[in-house]
C-alpha cells in the first residue's frame, strides 16, 4: 500500500469518487484488480463523523486499513481498536468486523482488499448509486431484496448470524436477480 501523499493526490485527481450520503462516506478506487493482476484492490476512504458500516465478514478476502488522517475505529471479532494516522489494522478472511468514525473530524484511510475483488469494485459504486437515487433504506440497504442479495454475493459480504442461517435463501435470491438481468442493469447504470 505504501503510496506517498503526492501519489495518492495524483490518483484521486484522475479517478471517480463515489459518495454514500447514508453512510456519510466516500470511496475512490486507487488500484483495481485489473491494475494489480488480481493481487489487491486499493481504496481511498473518506469517512465523516458518524460514518461506519455494520458488522460483516468476507469469505474470500482480508482487509487492511492504513489511517492517513483522523481516528478510525476498527472492530475485529467485537474488539474495538482505534487506529491513528500512520497506524494500520488488518482483518483476516472470514472474521466479523466493522469500521466507524466515532470522532468529530474527518478520517482518511487507505483500505486494501486482498486478493483483489472485482465484485467489491462493482458493488460499492452500485450500493452508493442506489442510495443516491432513493433505492435504499435510510440505513443504505437496497429496498429490493433481489438487489440486496445479489450485492451481498457480488461483494463477498456476509452478515453474522443472518448469512449463516439464510445463506441458501440469499443465494437463491441472488440467482433470481441474475436471471432477471438485475446485475446487468445495475452495472450499466452505476459502473461507468
| pLDDT tens for each residue of 75-99 | 998 999 999 999 999 999 999 999 9
Name the average pLDDT for the chain: 94
pLDDT tens-place string over residues 126-165: 999 999 999 998 878 899 999 999 999 999 998 888 767 7
Q: Which one, of 61, 65, 120, lies nearest residue 92 by Cα? A: 61
Are 87 and 125 in a shared domain?
no
CATH number for position 109: 2.60.120.10
What does the block give as the cell for 188? Answer: 450499466
Of the residues 67, 85, 117, the one at which a domain ends: 117
CA distance 143 to 146: 9
Is pLDDT above 80 for 106? yes
Statement to judge: residues 91 and 157 lie in one domain: no
- The whole-angstrom separation of Cα 187 and Cα 182 is 9
The last residue of one of the domains, among 78, 94, 117, is 117
* Confidence bin at 43 (pLDDT 50/70/90): very high
Cα 105 from Cα 96, distance rounded (Å): 26
Give me the pLDDT at residue 163, please: 67
Q: Which residue has the higher pLDDT, 158 or 101?
A: 101
Whether residue 15 is predicted with pLDDT greater than 70 in this model: the reply is yes
CA-CA distance, 110 to 44, in Å (whole number)?
5
- In the structure grid, which three cell numbers stand for residue 71, read together? 481516528
H or E segment to which residue 29 belongs: strand 25-31
> Residue 23 has what pLDDT?
85
> Are 127 and 111 within one domain?
no
What are residue 80's DSSP bridge partners? 75
Among 161, 176, 126, 165, residue whose Cα is nearest residue 55: 161
- Cβ(42)–Cβ(1) under 8 Å? yes
Average pLDDT of the residues in 167-185:
93
Give the pLDDT confidence of 44-71 residue by residue, as tens digits.
999 999 999 999 999 999 999 999 999 9
Q: Residue 1's pLDDT band (boundaries 50, 70, 90)? A: low
At 150 the pLDDT is 96
Domain closes at, from 55, 82, 117 = 117
User: Do 33 and 93 have their domain in common?
Assistant: yes
Range of the domain at 142: 119-190
Q: What is the percent of the chain where pLDDT is above 70?
A: 98
9 and 93, same domain (yes or no): yes
Number of domains in the chain: 2
**pLDDT-based confidence at 167, cuts 50/70/90?**
confident
Q: What is the mean pLDDT of residues 100-106?
A: 97
Amino acid at each position: 500500500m505504501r503510496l506517498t501523499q503526492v501519489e495518492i493526490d495524483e490518483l484521486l485527481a484522475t479517478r471517480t469518487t463515489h459518495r454514500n450520503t447514508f453512510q456519510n462516506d466516500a470511496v475512490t478506487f486507487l488500484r483495481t484488480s485489473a491494475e494489480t493482476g488480481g493481487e489487491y484492490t486499493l481504496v481511498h476512504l473518506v469517512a465523516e463523523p458518524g460514518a461506519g458500516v455494520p458488522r460483516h465478514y468476507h469469505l474470500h478476502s482480508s482487509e487492511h486499513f492504513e489511517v492517513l488522517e483522523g481516528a478510525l475505529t476498527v472492530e475485529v471479532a467485537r474488539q474495538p481498536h482505534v487506529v491513528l494516522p500512520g497506524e494500520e489494522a488488518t482483518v483476516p478472511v472470514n472474521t466479523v468486523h466493522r469500521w466507524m468514525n466515532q470522532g468529530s473530524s474527518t478520517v482518511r484511510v487507505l483500505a486494501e482488499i486482498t486478493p483483489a475483488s472485482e465484485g467489491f469494485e462493482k458493488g460499492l459504486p452500485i450500493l452508493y448509486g442506489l442510495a443516491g437515487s432513493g433505492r435504499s433504506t435510510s440505513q443504505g440497504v437496497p429496498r429490493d431484496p433481489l438487489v440486496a442479495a445479489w450485492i451481498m454475493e457480488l461483494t463477498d459480504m456476509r452478515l453474522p448470524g443472518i448469512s449463516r442461517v439464510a445463506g441458501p435463501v440469499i443465494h437463491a435470491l441472488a440467482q433470481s436477480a441474475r436471471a432477471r438481468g438485475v446485475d446487468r442493469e445495475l452495472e450499466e447504470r452505476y459502473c461507468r
